[in-house]
Amino acid sequence: MPLTIVGGGLAGSEAAWQAASRGVPARLYEMRPAQPTAVHKTDRLAELVCSNSFRGDKLDNAVGLLKEEMRRLGSLVMRAAEASRVPAGAALAVDRERFAEIVTGELAVHPLVTIVREEVTAIPESSEQEPVIIATGPLTSQALSAGLVSLVGQDHLYFYDAISPIVLAESIDRDKVFRASRWGRSLTPTGVVQAFRPADGDPEVRPKPDAMYESEAPACGIDDGAGDYLNCPFTSEEYQRFYDALVHAESATVHDFDKERFFEGCLPIEVMAHRGPDTLRFGPMKPVGLVDPRTGRPPYAAVQLRQDNLAGDHYSLVGFQTQLKWSEQARVLRLIPGLEEAEFVRFGTVHRNTYVNGPDVLFETWQVRRRPTLFFAGQMSGVEGYVESAASGLLAGLNASALVHGEPVSVPPRTTAIGALSYYVSHADPRHYEPSNITFGIMDPLGRPPRGKLERKLAMSKRALDDLAAWMEAYGLGNGQPSAERESLRSSARSSAGGGGASPASKERLSASGEGNP
What span, in angstroms and rounded, lies between the C-alpha atoms of 255 and 273? 22
pLDDT at 494 over 60: no
* Domains of the chain, each with CATH number or no CATH: 3-158+353-498 (3.50.50.60), 166-185+226-348 (2.40.30)
What span, in angstroms and rounded, lies between the C-alpha atoms of 400 and 11? 13
Backbone conformation region of residue 157, classed left if phi is above 0, alpha if psi is from -120 to 50, else beta: beta
pLDDT at 377 over 60: yes
- The count of C-alpha atoms lying within 13 angstroms of the C-alpha of 8, restricted to the half-sphere facing its C-beta, is 33
Backbone conformation region of residue 385, classed left if phi is above 0, alpha if psi is from -120 to 50, else beta: left
Give residue 128's pLDDT.
Answer: 95
Give residue 85's pLDDT.
Answer: 93
What span, in angstroms and rounded, lies between the C-alpha atoms of 47 and 129? 30
Give residue 321's pLDDT.
Answer: 86
Count Cβ atoms below 10 Å from residue 500 Cβ, excluding itself. Answer: 8
pLDDT at 508 over 70: no
Q: What is the CA radius of gyration of the chain?
A: 22
Nearest Cα residue to 467 out of 404, 412, 393: 412
In tens, the pLDDT along 124-139 reads: 999 999 999 999 876 6
Give residue 147's pLDDT.
Answer: 78
What does 206-219 look like in DSSP terms, one character per residue?
Answer: EEPPHHHHTT---S
In tens, the pLDDT along 247-282 reads: 999 886 544 433 455 555 567 899 899 999 999 999
Nearest Cα residue to 64 out of 341, 388, 349: 388
pLDDT at 489 over 90: no
% of the chain residues with pLDDT over 70: 76
What does 293-318 look like in DSSP terms, one character per residue?
Answer: TTTTB--SEEEEEEE-STTS-EEEET
In tens, the pLDDT along 450-467 reads: 999 899 999 999 999 999
Q: Name the average pLDDT for the chain.
A: 80
Lowest mean pLDDT among 159-163, 201-205, 382-386, 413-417: 201-205
C-beta separation of 366 from 376 below 8 A? yes
Give residue 189's pLDDT.
Answer: 39
What span, in angstroms and rounded, lies between the C-alpha atoms of 318 and 346? 14
Lowest mean pLDDT among 68-72, 203-207, 440-444: 203-207
Nearest Cα residue to 433 out of 353, 354, 377, 360: 360
Burial class (CB in 10 A: 0-12, 13-18, 19+), 72: buried
Count Cβ atoms below 10 Å from residue 85 Cβ, excluding itself. Answer: 23
What span, in angstroms and rounded, lies between the C-alpha atoms of 340 and 382? 39
Nearest Cα residue to 321 out of 252, 234, 231: 252
Lowest mean pLDDT among 184-193, 288-297, 497-506: 497-506
> What is the pLDDT averaged over residues 321-331?
90
C-beta separation of 375 from 151 below 8 A? no
Q: How confident is the model at residue 470 (pLDDT cuts 50, 70, 90)?
A: very high
In tens, the pLDDT along 232-245 reads: 999 999 999 999 99
